[in-house]
């Protein structure tokens, strides 16, 4: 069912369980200070967080995916050792201790969850979205992955299996979505543009759409 044995969860201290990691704690403290002193409008702060959540952070992951689509040798390295392959593009560090790339195929769709906290591959995906940390998502993704995808408006073909990967403090996952039809001959930059954060978590599918 999920990509690892649950017993391992209890061996490490989940300092990020319901407490903040030191960096999150600092950010929170800074946020409240800035808001309290009137330096920052909370709405402006939300806009900044939103940018990191959906635009800046996931662009790294989008580049990884685009390179994997464009370069079969890179895709192979990514499959064999996600951490090293991601590091080739200059991404890594805390939150990316061990990154495993899981590839969607017509037969199998991958979905990522962290049932015990909210471990997330920061270096490639940036900040976790609020829903990713929510108990309903964390519980339902494991019990009813198809229903979870339906909540995000995603319907998979009947025959496509869903495989759920449960992140831990040691292992984070990134989904390599299927390359959309109609993107033949696109450059890596053009491909990276269409890769969404949600597709790299497994709750979104990709369309070629219009090239910007």
Buried b (16+ CB within 10 A) or exposed e, 21-35: eeeeeeeeeeeeeee
Is 114 tagged catalytic? Answer: yes
Cα–Cα dist 194/207, whole Å:
8
Start-end of H helices in 97-196: 122-125, 130-133, 135-143, 145-151, 188-194
What is the chain's Cα-based Rg?
17
Is 134 tagged catalytic? Answer: no
Task: Identify the active-site residue in 2, 32, 70, 118.
Answer: 118
Task: Identify the active-site residue in 2, 32, 70, 117.
Answer: 117
Is 118 tagged catalytic? Answer: yes
**The pair of three-digit structure tokens given for residue 16, joined into one six-digit string:** 């990020």
Residues whose CB falls within 8 Å of the CB of residue 63, separated by 6 or more in sequence, listed in order:
89, 188, 192
Q: Which residues are catalytic?
A: 114, 117-119
């Amino acid at each position: 069912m999920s990509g690892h044995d649950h017993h391992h969860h209890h061996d490490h201290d989940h300092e990020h369980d319901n407490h903040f990691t030191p960096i999150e704690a600092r950010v929170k403290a800074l946020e409240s200070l800035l808001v309290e002193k009137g330096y920052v409008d909370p709405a402006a702060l939300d806009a900044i967080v939103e940018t990191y959540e959906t635009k800046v952070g996931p662009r790294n992951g989008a580049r990884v995916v685009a390179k994997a689509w464009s370069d079969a040798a890179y895709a192979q390295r990514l499959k064999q050792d996600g951490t090293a392959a991601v590091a080739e593009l200059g991404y890594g560090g805390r939150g990316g201790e061990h990154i495993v790339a899981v590839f969607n195929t017509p037969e199998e769709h991958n979905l990522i969850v962290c049932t015990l906290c909210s471990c997330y591959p920061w270096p490639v995906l940036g900040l976790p979205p609020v829903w990713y940390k929510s108990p309903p998502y964390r519980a339902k993704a494991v019990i009813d992955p198809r229903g979870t995808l339906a909540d995000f408006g995603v319907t998979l073909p009947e025959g496509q299996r869903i495989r759920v990967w449960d992140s831990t403090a040691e292992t984070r996952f990134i989904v390599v979505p299927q390359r959309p039809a109609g993107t033949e001959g696109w450059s890596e930059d053009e491909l990276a543009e269409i890769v969404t954060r949600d597709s790299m978590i497994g709750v979104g599918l990709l369309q070629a759409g219009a090239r910007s």
